[in-house]
Amino acid sequence: MLAGLNTLSQELEIVDSFAAYGSETSGINVVVIGDIGRGKSSWIKTVCVLRQLVANRQVVILDKKPQAGVGEYTPLAKALGAESIRFRVGGSGACLNLLDHAISVRGDHTGGIDGVVPAGQEALVVAVLTDAMGRELDEREKAAVGAGLFAVTSEAHRTGRDPVIRDLAHRLLNPEHHDGAGFGPRWCERALEWGVEPGLALLRLAERDLCGLVDAPTSPAVRVALDNHPLVHFDLSALPTEGPALRVVMTTANTWLANKLAARSSNYQQTILVVEEGWHVAAGSTGEVFRGNAKLSRGLGLSTVAAFHHPADQPPDSPAQALMGEASIVVLFGQARYDDAAETVRLYRLPPGTEETLMRLGRGQALVKIGSRDPFLINHIRSPQEVLLTDTDAAITGRQSDSAETTPTTSEPAAERNGPGSGGPQSHGPGLQGGAE
């Protein structure tokens, strides 16, 4: 998985979590950090998406970044013949059922790998409720949710339909008398009241914040995409940043994917999950579910690629910092603020003085750290075709870039040639144009 030229040795560098695993790293998750406009998206689209497809791997993209009214990855998906699955609040877009049958009730799967247990429906529902209610559920409420979930899923399966969170909300608000029997004669009557507040919260979510997103049977396009195409594009750009919708959809998609991979683990399919706006999945109880699934990456063959900027804006003990710190491969692009550079150096235990290096990096240059290997500087290189497919300036310029056909190998030749530690014109030589990829 060639990524570019080492600025010191002028050798081609491979940055590939699957190839590095075992020899250089003990994990396969990747974090990309840097300011806007420094080349993060181009790197991810090239090294973590397009070139992964050539290696017969499947790539799933959670695309929050809007461009010209759609997700930023929409042109790339269209060029590759993949459907962009667009989510909208209110029911006019795709839906990914929070209680989809692919997500097991407790995360375990027949035929899966022992010890590799993604989050299940119950953990996902409790996490969503914890964030929605603004507090931890007590043990009585958790018990009521678990019992209600078992009841609605069992009933739905008997009648041949998919359960949805409205079913669970109504069951918690209007339990049947025998629902309390499992709590014993002493508690059976009082247990019928334990689910009232979670039920009200679920009903509110289904009718408002999550309406049309996770509260109906999963759209056929979602299932078809994962089974029939190597690139799966979830366009989340229309979802509001404020409120639970974006975080819940992202975490549900991650949990659904982890469960699907656990169920088909015998296929040994290598999969990449790209999350361009990583902080959206890091916060709250749903963020803990996402992080828990990410820890199972080796068993699932699932490499999560998450992008961040301004790491200093996240508290040292925040879930976002934890998600960044758990990556085995770190790709660091330029940072203008000293506090961001200093926090990055602290987080990854980089040598003193690296702050200045990060602040001097030009566009398309990155400092890469793979496992315990010493960090190295790299000039990212793209072919003319990749430049066309990874263009992100259309919304700014008002037109699709037409200069890529005459660009040697990268859209940032001046910045890379003039940046610190640059390999100069050699890094854009004609010999790489046809064969580097």
Domain extent listing, the chain: 2-89+219-435, 137-207
Judged against a pLDDT cut of 90, whether residue 280 lies above it is answered with no
Per-residue confidence (pLDDT) for residue 244, from 0 to 100: 87
Q: What is the mean pLDDT of residues 143-152?
A: 93
What's the topology of domain 2-89+219-435? Answer: Rossmann fold (3.40.50)
Instruction: Indicate the helix (H) or strand (E) that contains 85.
Output: strand 84-86
> Across 163-291, where does the E strand assignment appear?
231-235, 271-275
* Residue 338 φ then ψ, to 5°: -65, -35
Q: Taking CA 64 as the corner, what is the angle to CA 264 and CA 224, rounded to the nearest 5 degrees?
A: 35
CA triplet 110, 114, 118: central angle to 5 degrees?
Answer: 75
Q: What is the pTM of this model?
A: 0.84
pLDDT of residue 396: 35
On the CB side of 92, CA atoms within 13 Å amount to: 5
Provide the pLDDT confidence category of residue 410 given band limits of 50, 70 and 90: very low
Question: What tokens were used for 396?
Answer: 């700014």
Residue 430 has pLDDT above 60, yes or no: no
Q: Which residues pair with 58 in a beta bridge?
A: 271
> Is residue 83 over pLDDT 90?
yes
Distance from C-alpha of 144 to C-alpha of 180, rounded to nearest angstrom: 9
Pairing of β 2-6 and β 12-14: antiparallel
